Amino acid sequence: MQTTLRPLGIVKEVVEEIGHEITYAYEDLVFVEHNDYLIQFASEPNLLELFFNTECAADEADAIAQKVVPAALSKGLFVNRKGTYTMTEDAGENIRITFHS
């Protein structure tokens, strides 16, 4: 089984550079404070996929993307604005994330 190394440290620098904070990282997902957006590591090593919460206003999502993309690019990462997502509570304390492209 091959393990893929993901540039979480660099993503943390990018997120902090634009004034946000990572609250949780799980497998290929990076959750950012207030859940306005999340970042998913793509199968390509230097590619990130950016999803916005459906509850995040469109103008705010645009403003965030305009900061994330150049900050990531300056560190050698490419960002693909992928779509939106919703989070709902599932059975127990589980969270269900549904992605919308």
Q: Residues 27-47, buried b or exposed e (16+ Cβ, 10 A)?
A: eeebbbeeeebbbbbbeeeee
Residues 83, 42: Cα–Cα separation, whole Å: 14
pLDDT in tens, 37-56: 999 999 998 999 999 999 99
pLDDT of residue 100: 93
Residues 92, 41: Cα–Cα separation, whole Å: 27
Residues 45, 2: Cα–Cα separation, whole Å: 14
Residues 64, 85: Cα–Cα separation, whole Å: 16
pLDDT confidence bin for 93, thresholds 50/70/90: confident
Q: Higher model confidence: residue 2 or residue 28? A: 28
